[in-house]
Amino acid sequence: MFTPRNKRLPATPHAAKSANSADQANDGSDGGYNAGIAVFSYIVGGIIVWSLIGWGLDNLWGTRWIVLLGALLGATGGFYLSHMHGLTSHRSSSGGSKADSGPSQDGDSNAK
């Protein structure tokens, strides 16, 4: 179907729903999946890069332990970067369950 450039199609409920879904995906409310992938890539990327640097230094200096130090440094750096980017922040659940929040406030709720 051809429509002129200056003429807009009427909005349908389906089109409005699609637009809202696209807006939600762009504003970061897509859950923790993207944050999890980012944390994973920071950690794995750090391990790979710093292990390769350690491997190169091991070959240059004739040692064997710098590659392990590089892997540890890469993992630590990945955790640090994910924390600094706010990807590992503690968020409260929307379910309202406080099952893992500790003992009750009154102290004797389980007494019979």
Which DSSP state fits 61?
H
How high is the pLDDT of residue 87?
87
How high is the pLDDT of residue 90?
67
pLDDT > 70 fraction of the chain, expressed in percent and rounded: 52
Supply angle C-alpha 66, 67, 73, rounded to 5: 85
Residue ranges per structural domain of the chain: 45-87
Residue 95 has pLDDT above 70, yes or no: no
Compute the mean pLDDT over every residue in the chain, rounded to the nearest whole number.
75
Q: What is the pLDDT of residues 29-53, one digit of tens each?
A: 665 888 899 999 999 999 999 999 9
